[in-house]
Amino acid sequence: MEYWQSIILGIIEGFTEFLPISSTAHLIISGKIMSIAQTEFLKSFEIIIQFGAILAVVWLYGKRVALNQEILKRIVIAFLPTAVFGFLLYKIFKNYLMENLSIIVWALLLGGILLIVFEYWHKENDDATANIEDISYKNCFLIGVCQTVAIVPGISRAAATILGGLFLGVKRKTIVEFSFLLAVPTMLAAAGYDLLKTGINFSPNQFGQLSLGFVISFLVSIFAIKFLLRFIEQHDFKWFGLYRIVIGLILLSFIL
């Protein structure tokens, strides 16, 4: 991998992590387009640069969470299902799912269709939960269960948690922000676990590429978070669904 490729992947990670379009799928596909060798380092790079996105959330929301223990408790409860399934399925995710382009393409396509269908079906009630600290513990856990589905590349962690929250009666802006916050322990665990298992094998040059991708991801993630919050004030997620379908069809044509 070259340093310019680290910059591009950092931009892609930062912009796509919090959008319902699957950052993992975009990173894997971009790596193939740039003909980056599918090494263990690339797989780890695609996981570990999520630290940048994590820092962006902490930068924007850290004080609010630190001062509100009710929000913190709900994040922990929602994270539990992912912690269990992520640990149990780590090897399958890294050694099989991340290498299977067909799974990624079909996940993008079907996820896009689901987004569009859901948005036409869903109507937000006036009594929908408006504050994160008011989401019930049961619903927090169920949102966490929804997030576990995103272990399949292409599904999108953001899409899974947001649609799950909307289905459970949480207001759009509230579940989007909760999705941001839930990303912190989720990605921290995934990246940290991968770093513990593979980090000792990185060369100084590879650590430099990781650091560059991290910084770029952090800066772009701040912009992406603010963009999504502005976007949902006037739009739903059908455009993201359409985008997923278009990208999925293009990639499917290459596979076939």
For 50-67, the pLDDT digits (tens) are 888 889 999 999 988 988
When mean pLDDT is compared across 1-10, 29-38, 170-179, 224-233, the lowest value belongs to 29-38
For residue 75, the model assigns a pLDDT of 95
Alpha carbons 150 and 249: distance in angstroms, whole number: 20
Q: What is the mean pLDDT of residues 220-225?
A: 94
* Percent residues over pLDDT 90 in the chain: 50
Entry field: residues in the chain: 256
Q: Return the pLDDT at 229.
A: 93
What average pLDDT does range 8-12 have in this prediction?
94
Alpha-carbon span 248 to 123, nearest angstrom: 27
The 10s digit of each residue's pLDDT in 81-126 is 988 887 776 666 656 666 677 888 888 999 999 999 999 999 888 8
C-alpha–C-alpha distance, residues 90 and 99, integer Å = 13
Give 221's pLDDT tier (boundaries 50, 70, 90): very high
| Cα 157 from Cα 179, distance rounded (Å) | 8
Kindly report the average pLDDT of the chain as a whole number: 87
CA quadruple 206, 207, 212, 217: dihedral sign: positive
What whole-number percentage of the chain has pLDDT above 70? 94
Which pLDDT band, with edges at 50, 70 and 90, does 144 fall under? very high
Helices (H), 17-68: 23-33, 40-48, 50-66
Q: Among positive and negative, which fits the CA dihedral 119, 121, 123, 124?
A: negative
Which residues on adjacent β-strands are paired with residue 170? 129
154: left (phi over 0), alpha (psi -120 to 50) or beta: left
What φ, ψ does residue 18 adopt, rounded to 5°? -100, 0
At residue 127, the pLDDT reads 86
Location of structure tokens 């869903």 = 122
Mean pLDDT of 152-161: 87
The pLDDT assigned to 89 comes to: 67
Cβ–Cβ < 8 Å for 140, 126: no
Angle at CA 51, nearest 5°, toward 78 and 221? 90
> How high is the pLDDT of residue 143?
96
Mean pLDDT of 156-174: 93
- Where do we find the tokens 């603010």? 226
- Dist CA 75 CA 132 (whole Å): 9
